[in-house]
Amino acid sequence: MHAWQVVFSVPKHGNSEAEWEDGAAAAPGDPATGRGPRFAVADGATQGFGSTRWAMRLVEGFVGEGAGGLDEIPDLAAEPLHRWLRRTQDRWRHDPLLAQATDMQVYKLETVGSFATFLGCEFVDLDGPHPHWSAVAIGDTVLFQVRGDELVATFPPIPAHGFGVNPHGLPTGPKALEAVVDRLLFDEGVLLDGDVIYLATDAFADWVLREEEGDRRELWTTLAGLDHPERFRALVDDRRRANDMVNDDVTLMRVSISAAGPENLVVCL
Amino acid sequence: MYRQSVSRSTPGCVVILLDRSDSMKLPWGKSGDSLAVGAALAVNNILLDMCVKATTEVNAPVRHYFDVGVFSYGARLTGPGGEGVEPAFGGPLAGRGLVPLPELAAHPMAVRQEPSIDLMPVNVKMPVWVDPAHGYRTPMCQAVAVAGGYVFDWAAAHPDSFPPIIINITDGMVTDNPYDGATIQEWVERLTAIETRDGRALFFNVFLSPVEVPEIVFPSDPGGLPLPGPDLFALSSVLPAPMVENARVDGYDVRAGAKGLAFNVGRSTLLRVLQVGTRVPDRSA
């Protein structure tokens, strides 16, 4: 089977595109190692320091686009992820960019740092007898698996109205990391031809879960039909104006699974 | 209501009313410093805290997440001196009412060694915007009236923002009640009638005591509060839901109807209360 993704994002209302503090990355599978395609979304802390760099390091590293490249892709288990996170923290803290930091920026780097909610996913055995997704998560970035008009999996299992303002996340501080590794959640689910996987940061995921309690067919038809960044922006703007979605950076990655592959290649200009 | 997060298009507004009356010269518990020194230290700490929160990346300016004002009442340090109300910033910002956070961060009056707020025997180098002072009586009504003028204009210019937050730090009884034909209750009612689309302005009170007595933080009932606790309780706004959450995360047992009032607080508690009261809704991640 084939899997192909598209990413939509909108920064907080009032902020520029450059101030979007989420991260999203995807990479194809590697036939040489048998590793499947990977997808990751992270949500950097609004009040952190260097949150965008941290969120991007996490997602790029997880899919194999980081500094260590393919050699350092972590397996989806607690111990390999722990080792990978320590390396990722070290690189973030020794970014050459920090040589230009002011006293206040250094102070915030050392006393606050940043953290990010994270969801990473690999599609395993796509061409084999047991195609499935395997995922790791911390915080309230959510994976939705949709089959037809039915939501067949939500990971992590956050209930509607369960999105708080103090979610768990991956920290930049080495000491804090030890405490959160035990909070990593793992899950997996069977993939079928025609399934769609969505990875969404909290504000959008919160809205999705509330909509899902109502007209779910309308919801999933709308999300499956998103075909241009402006349509996504219009959807988010509309929901924000209706006070139905909090003003937060929003990221949605849609991954379609099909035995046939995409019929068209769409380039948005 | 009280759901709007801060961004550059919807910045917040924080105003601190700082008592500089004569009684602020009294020593603050076992700290060895006066109430005035401790209060100024806490104000400078919370201003730094706000600047740090809006510092997000290398080569990027502090973000304009707040407009901030500090108004003192009691001893005046500028103009003719004597008793009165005035903007309390020193240095390049002297005389300014509400100041955007990036400008505040760029223009402290000094960067100097200050004692740690939590009474640890260490000094830390930090920016300073407000100096301690004390003298004369406690014209709190006038302070609320002056701040209200700035808050009114700000709310009119920021109708979609989180409502203004006004935090009053005092150690004494109001001495100008009534002022200009209105009581302190009426001045506060006028102040908290100012609103944005996200709710009415919030008025919180912190009462400092020179003697070591039990602290009462975010009470939901005025019963048992010594004077002037019941009056300050009546004047204080109910904590909105996001601040209740903040306070609970900080370990406070906050019950339904809890007021933005802290009574007989020590120095470190003062800073924690200021942090709870200035942390508006935000998506932590």
pLDDT value, residue B167:
96
- In this complex, which of A13, A107, A116 lies closest to B7 when CB atoms are compared? A13
Best of B55, B104, B160, B196 to disrupt the A interface (most A CBs within 10 Å) is B55
Ranges of each domain in chain B:
12-278
Which string of b and e fits B18-54 if b means at least 16 CB within 10 Å? bbbbbbbbbebbebebbbbbbbbbbbbbbbbebbbbb
As given in the structure block, the two tokens for residue A28 are: 């194809």
Residues in CB range of B101: below 8 A, 6 or more apart: B11, B50, B51, B54, B62, B63, B64, B65, B66, B67, B68
Residue with tokens 């706000």, as numbered in its chain:
B50
Q: Residue A12: closest CA among chain B residues belongs to which residue?
A: B7
pLDDT of residue A72: 78
**CATH class of the B12-278 domain in this structure:** alpha beta
Q: Do A100 and B283 touch (CB under 8 A)?
A: no
**A10 in contact with chain B, both atoms CB, cutoff 8 A:** no
Residue B107, pLDDT > 70, answer: yes
| Predicted confidence band of residue B285 (pLDDT cuts 50, 70, 90) | low
Mean pLDDT of B68-94: 95
Q: Testing the interface with A: which of B4, B53, B58 to mutate, by most A Cβ within 10 A?
A: B58
DSSP label at B179?
B
Task: Please report, as a single letter, which amino acid is at residue A168.
Answer: H
Q: What's the confidence (pLDDT) of residue B5?
A: 80
- Give the pLDDT confidence of A131-186 residue by residue, as tens digits: 999 999 999 999 999 999 999 999 999 876 778 656 889 999 988 998 888 999 99
**Given an 8 Å threshold on Cβ–Cβ distance, is B7 in contact with A15?**
yes
CA distances from A267 to A6, A223, B47 (A): 11, 18, 47
How confident is residue B116, by pLDDT bands cut at 50, 70 and 90?
low
Q: Give the distance from residue B65's alpha carbon to the nearest chain A alpha carbon, in angstroms.
A: 11
Q: Are residues A104 and B281, on separate chains, in Cβ contact within 8 Å?
A: no
Q: What's the first-to-final CA gap in chain A, in angstroms?
A: 29
Return d(Cα B158, Cα B165) in angstroms, integer.
13
- Average of per-residue pLDDT across B145-156: 98
Kind of pairing, strands B66-75 and B12-20?
parallel
Which pLDDT belongs to residue A164? 64
Mean pLDDT, rounded, of chain B: 90
- CB-CB: which of A43, A117, A247 is closest to B7? A247
* pLDDT confidence of residue B64: 92
Three-state SS string across chain A, please? CEEEEEEEEECCCCCCHHHCCEEEEEECCECCCCECCEEEEEEECCCCCCHHHHHHHHHHHHHCCCCCHHHHCCCCCHHHHHHHHHHHHHHHHCCHHHHHCCHHHHHHHHHCCCEEEEEEEEEECCCCCCCEEEEEEECCCEEEEEECCEEEEEECCCCCCCCCCCCCCEECCHHHHHHHHHHCEEEEEECCCCCEEEEECHHHHHHHHHHHCCCHHHHHHHHHCCCCHHHHHHHHHHHHHCCCCCCCCEEEEEEEEECCCCCCCCCCC
Pairwise pLDDT comparison (B282 vs A59), residue with the higher score: A59
* Predicted local confidence at residue A40, as pLDDT: 98
> Contact, A12 vs A51, CB < 8 A?
no
Q: Looking at residue A91, what is its pLDDT?
A: 92
Residues 6+ apart with CB under 8 A from A198: A143, A144, A146, A208, A223, A252, A253, A254, A255
ipTM: 0.74
Residue B81: is it exposed, middle or buried by C-beta count within 10 angstroms (0-12/13-18/19+)? Answer: exposed
pLDDT over 90, % of chain B = 65
Is the pLDDT at B215 greater than 70? The verdict is yes
Domain range holding A187?
A: 2-258
Residue A148 Cα, gap to closest chain B Cα (Å): 31
pLDDT above 70 covers what percent of chain B?
95
Question: The CATH number of the domain where A166 resides is what?
Answer: 3.60.40.10
Residue range B179-201, pLDDT digits in tens: 999 999 999 999 999 999 999 99
Tokens standing for B105?
A: 């961060």
For B7, the closest of A12, A140, A166 (CB atoms) is A12
Q: Does residue A112 belong to the interface with chain B, where contact is any CB pair within 8 Å? A: yes
Q: Which pLDDT belongs to residue A197?
A: 98
Q: Does residue B119 have a pLDDT over 60?
A: no
CB B39 within 8 A of CB B19: yes
**Inter-chain touch B282–A46, beta carbons under 8 Å:** yes
Overall domain count for chain A? 1
Higher pLDDT among residues B42 and B238, named by residue = B238
What average pLDDT does this structure show over B159-180?
94
pLDDT digits 0-9 by tens, B42-77: 899 899 989 988 999 998 889 999 999 999 999 999
Residue A232 lies in a domain: yes
Q: Which residue has the higher pLDDT, B119 or A145?
A: A145
- Asked whether the predicted pLDDT for residue B158 surpasses 90, the reply is yes
The yes-or-no verdict on residue B40 having pLDDT over 70 is yes
pLDDT in tens, chain A (269 residues): 899 999 999 998 878 888 889 999 999 998 888 899 999 999 998 889 999 999 999 999 999 986 666 567 899 999 999 999 999 999 999 999 999 998 888 888 988 899 999 999 999 999 999 999 999 999 999 999 999 999 999 999 987 677 865 688 999 998 899 888 899 999 999 999 999 999 999 999 999 999 998 889 999 999 999 989 999 999 999 999 998 998 889 999 999 999 887 777 777 66
Beta carbons within 8 Å of B53's beta carbon, 6+ residues apart: A47, B65
Count the Cβ atoms, other than its own, within 10 Å of residue A21: 30
Please tell me the predicted confidence (pLDDT) of residue B88: 97
The mean per-residue pLDDT over the stretch B95-101 comes to: 97
State which H helix or E strand residue B70 sits in: strand B66-75
